[in-house]
């Protein structure tokens, strides 16, 4: 019986099928196994931190903020406050302040009045517990004061590092830029873990314990309003603002994104934001957009209002206006 | 007597002293108890001096510097501790519209307020503790906003709406009070143009501002 061509088996095929253990395949396999073990160890590393006590179990499991029961929330607040006391030496008055009913915050800035003194940007550092004790720290104020040439609003020729003896400088005007709390916020759309969202009063908030630090939101923001904690913040105990809120100015951990919240720990209790409180020219106006008698409603009804990058369609709640 | 006697009043002691000719003013004379106010009875009442306005903002915000732009308010006499009762001197120095010699007093006043060339454009002719209204009536010192509103109506409208000038405290009237800075807490009424001020230091942000590249690194980097 002639062998069928289908049954002929070439020696080469047998070698392929049985794959004898050669030096090459052994090295390939062991290298792959080592990579696998290293990856597993990396994935389990938080467990090691849990054992050392640098991370609590709740931080590790990352239960979602909105799903918490009130008792759980209180426990987590206590833990975060205790952690702040351990690491920074100050026991904060840490709360979870909820939005006020029938309130939508709006902010307006008078470009005619602003003189670029940077008092708002520095007050932001003090109010929001930004890292600044170390001389090499980034001072991640949520406000960047741009110096622009008079005649047009050309951001490309603007600069933030001006250092004149006195301001305003000749033929310059100044435009502080911070989070615009957009109604169509690109940053919340791109977040892969929903760690950032729009609150009912319009504030775009970040859950620092839920953020994974991918920085997609920073890339999406057209106003460069978000900041990333490249390192653990350093603050002297005397400079820590103890009036803290979970979603705003509690001291952030390393590796998360933060942003301006219109000082929601102040504004949700009826106070003005810190940047407005210190403005020497009164260029900043803050209020409730849903109150037709508020200051911000007066601006929108009576002044010439400019919206930064209106063409990108983000519908900000931050307005610039001009005066005579 | 080649000069008429001048009556001064020290704020802390409440002492009124009549000084004869040739005697210098001596504010550090022995104090009398405050229970014996000896102010002349026929002087006009002084409204609350602008320099003693309440501090803006909330006490809990001590970490924020809310000092109004115009820190020292008042004439040089006031800064030295004298009261703001202008009539102590001016009941003797009669007001004139025009002076044919430089002023000996009020040297710290630089009048650069538009068309207002005369003191009596704003100050009342017979009561220097007050300002002058449209009809020649008096506007109390504490109501200085009303005086400014005589000319700056649109600014006054914006100020009333809370849009001109700074507000401190609570945006929500239900939850707390709000303080509004008044005209002369930011503007010098004699020279109202807003004065330039030194800016605070640039922030160390972004990274290239906090850690600028060294010269060697910049030289090594490829240039385009």
Same domain, A88 and A189: no
- Asked if residue A258 has pLDDT above 50, the reply is yes
**Residues B63, A241: C-beta atoms closer than 8 Å:** yes
The distance of B46 to chain A (nearest Cα, Å) reads 29
Task: Encode pLDDT of A131-150 as tens digits.
Answer: 999 988 899 999 999 999 99
Closest chain B residue to A302, measured at CA: B158
State the complex-level ipTM.
0.77
Residue A213 counted as domain residue:
yes
What band does A294 get if pLDDT is binned at 50, 70 and 90? very high
Task: Share the mean pLDDT of chain A.
Answer: 91
Instruction: Give the number of C-alpha atoms closer than 13 A to the C-alpha of residue A235, restricted to the C-beta side.
Output: 27
Same domain, A157 and A290: yes
For β-strands A257-259 and A284-288, DSSP reports them as: unpaired
Residue A69 counted as domain residue:
yes
Same domain, A83 and A144: no
Those residues of chain B whose CB sits closer than 8 Å to some CB in chain A are 57-58, 60-61, 63-66, 68-69, 154, 158, 161-172, 174-176, 181, 186, 194, 196-207, 209-211
Residue A5 counted as domain residue:
no
| Contacts with B209 from chain A: Cβ below 8 Å | 160-161
- Asked if residue A64 has pLDDT above 70, the reply is no
> Shortest CA distance to A299 belongs to which of B94, B23, B161, B213?
B161
pLDDT, greater one: A69 or A300: A300
CB B65 within 8 A of CB A123: yes
First-to-last C-alpha distance (Å) of chain A? 107
Mean pLDDT by 10 residues, chain B (224 residues): 40 36 38 46 60 67 86 60 76 83 78 90 90 93 90 95 94 92 88 92 83 67 56
CB A289 within 8 A of CB A105: yes
Question: According to the model, what pLDDT value does residue B108 have?
Answer: 76
Task: Encode pLDDT of A164-173 as tens digits.
Answer: 999 999 999 9
* Dihedral over alpha carbons A220, A224, A227, A228 (to 10 degrees): 50
The partner residue sitting opposite B65, judged by closest CB among A166, A278, A281, is A278
Whether A297 has its CB under 8 Å from any CB of chain B: the answer is no
- Asked if residue A17 has pLDDT above 80, the reply is no
Least confident range of A50-59, A175-184, A313-322, B119-128:
A50-59
Task: Encode pLDDT of B36-45 as tens digits.
Answer: 444 555 666 6
In Å, how far from its chain's centre is CA A259? Answer: 4
**Residues A285, B171: C-beta atoms closer than 8 Å:** no
| Contacts with B174 from chain A: Cβ below 8 Å | 270
Question: According to the model, what pLDDT value does residue A6 have?
Answer: 64
Two tokens at B45? 């009442």
Residue linked to tokens 């009669």: B94
Question: According to the model, what pLDDT value does residue A66 have?
Answer: 55
> What is the extent of the structural domain holding A67?
57-95
* Dihedral over alpha carbons B41, B44, B50, B52 (to 10 degrees): 20
What band does A58 get if pLDDT is binned at 50, 70 and 90? confident
Question: According to the model, what pLDDT value does residue B78 have?
Answer: 65
- Asked if residue A265 has pLDDT above 60, the reply is yes
**Residues A298, B204: C-beta atoms closer than 8 Å:** no
Task: Encode pLDDT of A269-284 as tens digits.
Answer: 999 999 999 999 999 9
Which neighbouring-strand residues pair with B196? none
Same domain, A264 and A182: yes
Question: What is the Cα Rg of chain A in Å?
Answer: 27
CATH number at residue A153: 3.30.70.20
What band does A72 get if pLDDT is binned at 50, 70 and 90? confident
How many Å apart are CA A240 and CA A53, to the nearest integer?
A: 24
Question: According to the model, what pLDDT value does residue B23 have?
Answer: 36
Same domain, A251 and A232: yes
Average pLDDT over residues A87-95: 93
What band does A16 get if pLDDT is binned at 50, 70 and 90? low
Distances (CA, A) of A38 to A30, A202, A303: 12, 44, 62
What band does A209 get if pLDDT is binned at 50, 70 and 90? very high
How many Å apart are CA B119 and CA B117, to the nearest integer?
A: 7
DSSP state letter for A25? H
Two tokens at B189? 């009424």
Q: Residues 6 or more apart from A109 whose CB is under 8 A from it? A: A175, A176, A283, A284, A285, A318, A319, A320, A321
Same domain, A218 and A287: yes
CB B69 within 8 A of CB B182: no
Strand ranges inside B61-177, DSSP E:
130-132, 138-140, 167-169
Please give the helix or strand (H or E) that residue A110 lies within, else none.
strand A105-110
Residue A196 counted as domain residue:
yes
Distances (CA, A) of B63 to A22, A125, A240, A286, B159: 72, 11, 9, 20, 27
How many Å apart are CA A316 and CA A182, to the nearest integer?
A: 4
The partner residue sitting opposite B162, judged by closest CB among A116, A160, A295, is A295
**Residues B210, A163: C-beta atoms closer than 8 Å:** no
pLDDT, greater one: A115 or B117: A115
Residue B72 exposed, middle or buried by CB count within 10 Å (0-12, 13-18, 19+): exposed
Same domain, A66 and A136: no
Taking phi over 0 as left and psi of -120 to 50 as alpha, with beta for the rest, B222 belongs to beta
CB A120 within 8 A of CB A128: no
Residue A237 counted as domain residue:
yes
Question: According to the model, what pLDDT value does residue B206 have?
Answer: 84
Least confident range of A8-17, A97-106, B60-69, B173-182:
A8-17
Same domain, A82 and A136: no
- Chain A with chain B: Cβ pairs closer than 8 A: 139
Residue A4 counted as domain residue:
no
Residue A263 counted as domain residue:
yes
A74-83: long-range pairs with CB below 8 Å, 24+: A77/A246, A80/A246, A80/A250, A83/A56
Same domain, A138 and A197: yes
Question: According to the model, what pLDDT value does residue B77 have?
Answer: 63
Question: According to the model, what pLDDT value does residue B140 have?
Answer: 87
How many Å apart are CA B14 and CA B89, to the nearest integer?
A: 15
Same domain, A89 and A192: no
Residue A49 counted as domain residue:
no
Could you tell me where the DSSP H helices lie in A89-182?
A: 119-127
How many Å apart are CA B165 and CA B149, to the nearest integer?
A: 14
The partner residue sitting opposite A117, judged by closest CB among B166, B197, B203, is B197
Distances (CA, A) of A224 to A92, A130, A179, A259: 29, 17, 8, 10
User: At CA B142, angle to CA B139 and CA B146, rounded to 5?
Assistant: 50
Sheet containing A284-288: order of strands:
A284-288, A105-110, A318-322, A304-306
Same domain, A135 and A157: yes
pLDDT, greater one: A210 or A20: A210
How many Å apart are CA A259 and CA A251, to the nearest integer?
A: 12
pLDDT, greater one: A240 or B107: A240
Least confident range of A110-124, A200-214, B30-44:
B30-44
What band does A11 get if pLDDT is binned at 50, 70 and 90? low
Same domain, A131 and A212: yes
Question: According to the model, what pLDDT value does residue A46 have?
Answer: 74
As for how many domains chain A has, the answer is 3
pLDDT, greater one: A310 or A56: A310
pLDDT, greater one: A59 or B178: B178
- State percent of chain A over pLDDT 90: 80
């Amino acid at each position: 019986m002639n062998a069928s061509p289908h049954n002929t088996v070439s020696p080469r095929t047998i070698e392929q099928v049985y794959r004898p253990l050669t030096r090459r395949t052994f090295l390939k396999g062991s290298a792959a196994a080592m990579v696998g073990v290293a990856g597993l160890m990396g994935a389990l590393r938080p467990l090691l931190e849990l054992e050392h006590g640098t991370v609590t179990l709740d931080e590790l499991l990352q239960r979602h903020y909105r799903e918490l029961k009130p008792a759980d929330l209180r426990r987590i607040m206590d833990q975060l406050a205790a952690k702040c006391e351990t690491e920074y030496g100050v026991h904060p008055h840490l709360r979870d302040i909820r939005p006020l009913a029938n309130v939508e915050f709006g902010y307006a800035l008078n470009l005619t009045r602003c003189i670029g003194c940077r008092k708002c940007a520095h007050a932001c550092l003090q109010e929001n517990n930004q890292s600044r004790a170390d001389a090499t720290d980034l001072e991640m104020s949520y406000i960047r004061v741009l110096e622009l040439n008079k005649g047009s609003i050309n951001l490309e020729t603007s600069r933030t590092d001006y250092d004149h003896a006195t301001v305003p400088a000749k033929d310059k005007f100044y435009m502080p830029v911070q989070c615009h709390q957009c109604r169509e916020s690109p940053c919340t759309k791109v977040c892969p873990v929903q760690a950032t969202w729009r609150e009912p009063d319009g504030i775009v908030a970040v859950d620092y314990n839920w953020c994974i630090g991918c920085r997609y939101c920073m890339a999406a923001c057209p106003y460069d309003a978000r900041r990333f904690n490249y390192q653990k913040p350093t603050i002297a105990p005397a400079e820590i603002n103890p009036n803290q809120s979970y979603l705003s100015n509690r001291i952030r951990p390393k590796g998360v994104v933060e942003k301006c919240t219109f000082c929601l720990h102040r504004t949700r209790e009826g106070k003005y934001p810190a940047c407005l409180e210190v403005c020497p020219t009164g260029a900043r106006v803050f209020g409730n957009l849903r109150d037709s008698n508020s200051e911000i409603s007066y601006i929108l009804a009576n002044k010439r209002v400019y919206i930064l990058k209106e063409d990108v369609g983000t519908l900000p709640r931050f307005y610039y206006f001009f005066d005579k | 007597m080649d000069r008429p006697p001048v009556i001064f009043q020290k704020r802390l002691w409440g002492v009124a002293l009549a000084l004869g000719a040739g005697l210098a003013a001596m504010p550090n004379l022995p104090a009398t108890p405050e229970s014996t106010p000896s102010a002349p009875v026929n002087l006009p009442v002084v409204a609350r001096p602008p320099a003693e306005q309440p501090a803006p903002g909330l006490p809990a915000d001590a970490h924020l510097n809310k000092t109004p732009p115009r820190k020292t308010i008042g004439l040089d006499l006031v800064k030295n501790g004298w009261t703001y009762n202008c009539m102590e001197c001016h009941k003797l120095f009669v007001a004139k519209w025009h002076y044919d010699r430089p002023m000996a007093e009020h040297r710290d006043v630089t009048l650069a307020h538009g068309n207002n060339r005369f003191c009596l454009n704003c100050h009342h002719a017979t009561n220097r503790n007050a300002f002058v209204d449209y009809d020649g009536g008096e506007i109390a010192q504490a109501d200085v906003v009303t005086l400014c509103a005589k000319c700056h109506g649109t600014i006054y409208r914006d100020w009333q709406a809370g849009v001109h000038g700074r507000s401190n405290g609570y945006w929500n009237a239900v939850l707390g009070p709000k303080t509004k800075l008044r005209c002369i807490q930011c503007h010098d009424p004699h020279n109202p143009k807003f004065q330039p001020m030194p800016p605070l230091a640039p922030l160390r942000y972004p990274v290239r501002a906090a850690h600028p590249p060294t010269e060697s690194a910049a030289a090594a980097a490829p240039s385009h």
